[in-house]
Amino acid sequence: MIPWFLVLSGFLLGTLSAAGPSIRNSAASTSNAIDCPNCLDDSLPSINRWTMPLLKLGEKRYYLGIFFKANYFRATQYCRFHGMHLASITSQEENDKLEKYIKDFGFGNEHFWTSGTDLADEGNFFWMSTGRPITFTNWNAGEPNNFEYENGEQENCLELWNRDGKGLKWNDSPCSFETYFVCEVQHSEDDSTFTSPVLKRNRTNYLEFAGKTYYFQTVFKGNFYRALQFCRQSGMQLVSISSPAENTRLGRFVEEIGSSNGHFWTSATNNADHNQWIWLSTGNNMVYSNWHPGEPNGLTAERVNKSENCMEARHWGKGFTWNDLNCFAELHFICESSSDCNRKRRK
């Protein structure tokens, strides 16, 4: 069942069918959007490709999430589920056009999530949607200040906010804060820039299975957010696992490359809603699962950054099983993309 918040916005606008997001309105486009969010099916006419109300500003198309408020992770989930990403802003011109668009809707004094965050490395903000460091900035005076709250939560996610009456400038805010958000569709020609020169194809870290290509990062470790960033920078996504066959094959490959004792991040998290695990890379709810007995145990702590809200996969007892873990633990990780998407990039 599709969660209410994923279809509410489109339902109110009369643009989505009850069956699911209309941005994926054919079997072909559904498969393409799920397996390869960065690839566009050029055979589809524009009127069928974009049936949600998107505004074209320069090289991108934007969608305003103004029908419900969400925390940073739920906003990310919504955008990904509809084949988009939370917005990244790379120039003053883009910032000004987006601000005008929001003001024209009458929401100039509201807060809006972007994909900016420094969860991977405190003080170093990057765009989660692309994995790229933030170069252009438009912070409010005195921001980012990384204010820490009594429960230990810090301000690690980037919002637009007309704080001082000087327009929609940037502010760091707690990622759990619920507000409106901006999704974007990235220009299709940008796909070629995601090909990473450091990801050399070789038998020790690449696997092709059932239409996907997987990259096993065993050279260095990173927290959950760093893993997301690395995969996005490389034109891939942090892995999502949807079947027993896929899970078994990944586990066997981990053994084949001599990493049987390794712990690997996947894109699963319950940061959006502690009662629901999702695959952050696709925005889909977790349906198939292979939790280790007794997991997830939902370990929580008084301080937010000590709770277990992200999912690792590892050889633990029998088979390649899953465990919830603190998102700031340093682990290896698995990136994935559609094999068709990889071939398209290499053309």
Q: What is the pLDDT of residues 120-137, one digit of tens each?
A: 999 999 999 999 999 999
Asked if residues 185 and 60 have their Cβ atoms less than 8 Å apart, the reply is: yes
- Number of Cβ within 10 Å of residue 13's Cβ equals 13
Rounded Cα distance between 200 and 33, Å, is: 25
Burial of 165 (0-12, 13-18, 19+ CB in 10 A): exposed
Question: What angle do the packed helices 72-81 and 4-13 form, to 10 degrees?
Answer: 60
Distances (CA, A) of 30 to 1, 26, 49, 191, 301: 16, 6, 11, 19, 39
Among 187, 250, 149, residue whose Cα is nearest residue 58: 187
* Cis ω for the linkage preceding 296 (within 30 of 0): yes
pLDDT tens-digit profile of 180-194? 999 998 764 343 333
pLDDT value at residue 125: 97
Closest of 229, 230, 209, 208 to residue 219, by C-alpha: 230
Distance (Å, rounded) from C-alpha 28 to C-alpha 164?
A: 47
Whole-number Å distance between alpha carbons of 161 and 55? 20
Strand partners for 331: 222
Contact 39, 338 (CB under 8 A): yes
Q: At what angle do helices 339-346 and 27-35 cross, to 10 degrees?
A: 80
DSSP secondary structure letter of residue 198: T
Cα 41 to Cα 52: distance, rounded to the nearest angstrom: 17
137 φ, ψ to 5°?
-135, 160
Neighbours of 237 (CB within 10 A): 25
Strands 308-315, 263-273: parallel, antiparallel or unpaired by DSSP?
Answer: antiparallel
pLDDT computed for residue 338 by the predictor = 83
DSSP for residue 22: G
Query: Which phi and psi angles does 118 have, rounded to 5°?
Result: -120, 30
Nearest 5 degrees, angle CA 283-CA 126-CA 180? 50
Q: Cis omega before residue 293 (within 30°)? A: no
| Residue ranges, the chain, pLDDT below 50 | 1-2, 4-5, 7-50, 188-200, 343-347
- Please report the pLDDT score of residue 154 as a whole number: 93
Strands (E), the chain: 55-57, 60-70, 85-86, 111-117, 126-127, 155-161, 169-174, 179-185, 206-209, 212-222, 237-238, 263-273, 276-279, 284-285, 308-315, 320-326, 331-338
Rounded CA gap, 327 and 195, in Å?
Answer: 27
In single-letter form, the type of residue at position 53 comes to: P
Closest C-alpha among 328, 137, 111 to residue 227: 328
Domains of the chain: 4-186 (3.10.100.10), 192-346 (3.10.100.10)
